[in-house]
Amino acid sequence: MNEKKARIAVLVSGEGTNLQAILDEAAKGAIPHGEVTLVISDRAGAYALERARKAGIPAMEINKKACGGQTAFEEKLTAALEENRTDVIVLAGFLSILTENFTKRYARRILNVHPSLIPSFCGAGFYGLKVHEAALARGVKVTGATVHFVNEIPDGGEIIAQKAVEILEGDTPEILQRRVMEQAEWIILPRSVEKVCAEIKAKEE
């Protein structure tokens, strides 16, 4: 592992498409100041773990139910992150809510990607297809994605980057979800990861 790079842990719950976008951009040299060194899933059998293993990255599962509650879950999560000497945490489709206790420990070091232009269609209960369903139901003409720092308020942290995506006639939530991923999430998430990693490394010099 390269100690000149910030150590990134990616937290996932499902397919891991945003994880893949980070890995692909890193492979192209687009994240020179960071390196993914750990992937953690809160769900058993998440395909994201397979993506990590294929890329030769240590991967593990930490299940809240198996831990017996939020406090034990966050303690186990913190222990794994500390052992990994994690500098930056990326929530890439991670569905577990993290408490202020956890987010304060890693202030301005946790990033999340949300599939709308915050403050629209965000906060508790807005995740996955629900976000796109809400955007279509409201009749908005433009949506997009936002990368933000994570604090104790769901989708409430400081915005790092946003990218707009046009809504087209005939869009279904599934079609729109895919377009937002391809045209926004997979572009601004790796760029934001690099930006935060570069800032962290600059402070160390």
CB 110 within 8 A of CB 103: yes
Would you call 53 helix, strand, or coil by DSSP? helix
For the beta carbon of residue 100, count every other beta carbon within 10 angstroms. Answer: 10
Q: Give me the catalytic one of 33, 114, 132, 148.
A: 114
For the beta carbon of residue 121, count every other beta carbon within 10 angstroms. Answer: 21
Cα 144 to Cα 174: distance, rounded to the nearest angstrom: 14
Q: Any residues with CB less than 8 A from the CB of 168 and at least 6 apart, and which? A: 179
114 labelled catalytic: yes
Scored b (16 or more CB within 10 A) or e, 180-196 reads bbebbbbbbbbbbbbbb
CB 47 within 8 A of CB 18: no
Burial tier of 162 (Cβ tally within 10 Å: 0-12, 13-18, 19+)? middle
Residues annotated as catalytic (active site), given as ranges: 114
